[in-house]
Amino acid sequence: MIQNKKELIKIYLNINLLKQFLFFFFFLIIIHHWFFAYFRSILFRILSNFYNEFKFSDCFMHNLNMESKIKFKKFVTLCLVFTFLENICSFTSDNVNVKISRLMYRLGDNVEIDSTSFPHINFKKKTGLNFDDILNEKFHFDMNAHDVMVFLHIQKTGGTSFGRHLVQDLDLQRPCTCQRKHKRCYCFRPNRNENWLFSRYSTGWKCGLHADWTELTNCVNSELDKNEGEPVKRRYFYITLLRNPISRFLSEFKHVQRGATWKNSRHWCGGRVATKDELPKCYSGLTWKNVSLDEFLNCSHNLAINRQTRMMSDLSLIGCYNKSYMVPTLRNKIILASAKYNLASMAFFALTEYQKIGQYVFEEIFNLRFAVPFAQYNSTRSGAYIAKLRPEQLEKIRKVNELDLELYEFAKSLMFKRFERLRSRDSNFKTRWQHLGELSVQAEFNWDEEIEPESPGNRFNT
């Protein structure tokens, strides 16, 4: 052992090339990651067996000569020893919190996603620019450049009204032009005919009906390339709405009871659409019309359950819709963490229950103004409906939608944090808040509107 140590030091001193140093550095990082993850115990064993039997050698070292083999072996050992020592040191000298925080994903807004339970999962940042990026002043949404707003519209969250606000109520240099008949608007950049908004009313359901995070992040770019005829490097600003999970679930139930199915949703993930076996239908026949709430709740693979968490998460992390890929408890943990991560990585999100805050935050982030105040969704009706439920029904709704409830709480506290940050830096806040949705009187005079008298056809008013 001691003899080896001396040799190791010698070899260490021999490492003088930058290349080797870099290799060593990255190797250390990788090993370190492993070490902390689920390889901790295995590495101990490898380390102790290392000198006697170098079992990996057959796999990838057969074409090295003996000397290099030994060198390589020692090199790897050194890395392991370093990693080992570093971990021992940090374990003994620091408190456990420090340890854990290193395993958390740090996001903007000081949001941390605890990943201790699944360290081998690698959350990827694919959601474009986040709130912090934008607040740092470096990344203003630039309509003349290649910035695209992508609206992730989850069913029954109030996304239809919000989507309409986007296409018809923003005070833009070049307003969207809408065709009432087709329920479609052209939202083009001021300087060229290119979409800056990816949403149902502008581009249509190009990535599938109510496309989720997994579908959008894998599809928007290529769809826009196709649309514009050439690949362009764009910056994405994802936006979405979340709603109280109990109200949302009941609202979806009512919608299904009236005959909605969203059966044209693709559920695309991992390079293919989900199969019928992976997503069995809860009903026979064409729709689930007249379904009772008990039946609706009784179907364990009902997509309404935890819909917000599922649609916000990176489903490729859990083997998509293949339920035998991992056990349900782990699956749930991962999609919840992933949904939180993706939500916090978005440029903007709002909660249906806080329309005014949503409007203010949107206007501040994108430096755009709406010409109307957002109406607060009247919760009296759904409140009355909830009051009529049997206690065990309400309890069951809560229980099955546990993930959505936790995601919503997370979203709520994050939203208030962001709102506070924007408010504290806005010297004009009081006036802005009082007059939200009123464009200032000095707004540019719109000649087009003067020539064409106001007609119901100018805006769809459904």
Ligand X SMILES: *[C@@H]1O[C@H](CO)[C@@H](O)[C@H](O)[C@H]1NC(C)=O
- The answer to the question of residue 324 lying near ligand X (CB under 6 A) is yes
By beta-carbon proximity to ligand X, the closer residue of 203 and 244 is 244
- The answer to the question of residue 290 lying near ligand X (CB under 6 A) is yes
From 187-195, 241-249, 321-329, 360-368, span contacting ligand X (CB under 6 A): 321-329
Q: How far is the CB of 378 from ligand X (least distance, A)?
A: 4
The residue with tokens 């119901």 is 456
Among the listed residues 294, 409, 438, 452, the single contact to ligand X using CB under 6 A: 294
Is the CB of residue 241 less than 8 Å from the CB of residue 154?
yes
- The answer to the question of residue 112 lying near ligand X (CB under 6 A) is no
Among the listed residues 92, 264, 380, 440, the single contact to ligand X using CB under 6 A: 380
The residue with tokens 């379904």 is 291
Question: What are φ and ψ of residue 427, in 5° steps?
Answer: -70, -20
Q: How far is the CB of 294 from ligand X (least distance, A)?
A: 4
Q: How many CB atoms lie within 10 A of CB 409?
A: 11
By beta-carbon proximity to ligand X, the closer residue of 294 and 420 is 294
- The answer to the question of residue 7 lying near ligand X (CB under 6 A) is no
d(CA 147, CA 212): 20
Structure token pair of residue 394: 């309400």
- The answer to the question of residue 120 lying near ligand X (CB under 6 A) is no
The residue with tokens 């709740």 is 297
The residue with tokens 């001021």 is 190
d(CA 193, CA 419): 34
Q: How far is the CB of 181 from ligand X (least distance, A)?
A: 31
Is the CB of residue 108 less than 8 Å from the CB of residue 121?
no
- The answer to the question of residue 295 lying near ligand X (CB under 6 A) is yes
The residue with tokens 């052992």 is 1
Strands 272-273 and 177-179: unpaired
Q: How far is the CB of 288 from ligand X (least distance, A)?
A: 9
What DSSP designation does 68 have?
H
Q: How far is the CB of 360 from ligand X (least distance, A)?
A: 19
Burial class (CB in 10 A: 0-12, 13-18, 19+), 97: exposed
Q: How far is the CB of 249 from ligand X (least distance, A)?
A: 17
d(CA 240, CA 449): 31
- The answer to the question of residue 298 lying near ligand X (CB under 6 A) is yes
From 81-89, 243-251, 319-327, 392-400, span contacting ligand X (CB under 6 A): 319-327
- The answer to the question of residue 382 lying near ligand X (CB under 6 A) is no
Q: Which of 153, 165, 210, 267 is catalytic?
A: 210
By beta-carbon proximity to ligand X, the closer residue of 108 and 437 is 437
Q: How far is the CB of 279 from ligand X (least distance, A)?
A: 12
By beta-carbon proximity to ligand X, the closer residue of 249 and 410 is 249
From 83-91, 107-115, 161-169, 322-330, span contacting ligand X (CB under 6 A): 322-330
- The answer to the question of residue 289 lying near ligand X (CB under 6 A) is yes
Half-sphere exposure of 415 (CA within 13 A, CB side): 27
d(CA 352, CA 21): 53
- The answer to the question of residue 284 lying near ligand X (CB under 6 A) is no
By beta-carbon proximity to ligand X, the closer residue of 201 and 249 is 249
Residues 6+ apart with CB under 8 A from 389: 293, 397
Q: How far is the CB of 342 from ligand X (least distance, A)?
A: 23
Residues 6+ apart with CB under 8 A from 275: 321
From 229-237, 318-326, 327-335, 345-353, span contacting ligand X (CB under 6 A): 318-326
By beta-carbon proximity to ligand X, the closer residue of 26 and 325 is 325
Annotation marks residue 210 as catalytic: yes
The CA angle 76-78-80, to the nearest 5 degrees, is 70
d(CA 379, CA 248): 11
- The answer to the question of residue 63 lying near ligand X (CB under 6 A) is no
Structure token pair of residue 326: 């991992």
- The answer to the question of residue 455 lying near ligand X (CB under 6 A) is no
Q: How many residues bind ligand X (CB under 6 A)?
A: 11
Give the residue among 324, 328, 155 at the shortest CA–CA distance from 243.
155
The residues of the shown chain that bind ligand X, judged by CB under 6 A, are 289-290, 294-295, 298, 319, 322, 324-325, 378, 380
Residues tagged active-site: 210
